[in-house]
Amino acid sequence: MAALRAAKQGLRKELKRRVATVTDDEKRRQSLVVSQKLFSHPKYVSSQRIAVFLSMKDEVNTQEIIKDMLKCGKSCFIPRYESTSSHMDMLKVNSLQDIEMLPLTSWNIRQPARDDNSREEALASGGLDLILIPGLGFDRARNRLGRGKGFYDNYLERCKKHPKGKPYTIALAFKEQLCEKVPVDDHDVPIDEVLYEDEK
C-alpha cells in the first residue's frame, strides 16, 4: 500500500511539473480541440443529464462545454466537494450567471454553498447519463490518477446504486497528462474513455 501511495505521489509531482510547462495559449488551444471532439461524441449528443467540473488552471477548460450544454438545453450538474471528507455531490446549475454568482472555495473554484439546499442533486433525482471527469494523469488502459482525495471514485460507487446505474464517464485531458502506466488499486474506478488531442 505504502509503495502504491509513493508511486502515485511521485507521478502526481511529475505530471504537475509537465502541465506547468504548457503555455496558457496551448492549454486554450487543446481545450478547444477536446471540446469540439466532445460536441460530436455520440454519448455527449445523446446525454441529457451531464455532470461537468469547473476547471482549474491545470485542467482542460470546460467553459465552452458548459455554454454548449446550457444552449442545447441539457441539465448541467457541477461538483460540491466536502473539504473535510471524500464526499461530493453533483448539483444542478441553471445558467452561466448562476455559476458566476457561486461562492469561491479555498481551491479558487466556484461551488454551491454548503447550506444551499435549493438545488437538485443528481442522484437524489434522475441520476446522470454522463460524467465529464478531471484528473492529473491517465494511461491508455483508461486508468486515472486524481488528486488523491477519492471524490470521483466514491461518487461513481454511489452512482452504481442508483436505479439508472453508473453513467458513462469521459475524462478530459491535455496530451501532456497521458502517461505509460497509472498505478491503481481496487478502489480506483477506470474511466470509460479519455478524450485528448490525438497526435496526427
CA distance 73 to 91: 16
Domain that holds residue 111: 2-195
* 36-to-31, 64, 103, 184 alpha-carbon distances in Å: 9, 9, 29, 30
114 within some domain: yes
Positive or negative, the Cα torsion across 84, 186, 162, 55? positive
Counting the structural domains of the chain, the total is 1
Q: How far apart are the first and last CA of the chain?
A: 38
Binding residues: 8-12, 54, 59, 144-152
Nearest by Cα to 158 from 121, 110, 113: 121
According to the model, what pLDDT value does residue 198 have?
A: 87
75 within some domain: yes
CA distance 84 to 149: 10
According to the model, what pLDDT value does residue 48 have?
A: 98
84 within some domain: yes
Nearest by Cα to 39 from 15, 74, 82, 78: 74
Nearest by Cα to 86 from 25, 157, 20, 152: 152
Binding residues for ATP: 8-12, 144-152
Global pTM reads 0.95
157 within some domain: yes
According to the model, what pLDDT value does residue 117 have?
A: 85
According to the model, what pLDDT value does residue 183 have?
A: 93
CA distance 76 to 125: 13
| Cell numbers at 6, concatenated | 509513493
200 within some domain: no
Binding residues for substrate: 54, 59
According to the model, what pLDDT value does residue 199 have?
A: 63
- CATH number of the domain bearing residue 184: 3.40.50.10420
| pLDDT tens series, the chain, 200 aa | 889 999 999 999 999 999 999 999 999 999 999 999 999 999 999 999 999 999 999 999 999 999 999 999 999 999 999 888 889 999 999 999 999 999 998 888 899 998 888 999 999 999 999 999 999 999 999 999 999 889 999 999 999 999 998 999 999 999 999 999 999 988 888 999 999 998 65
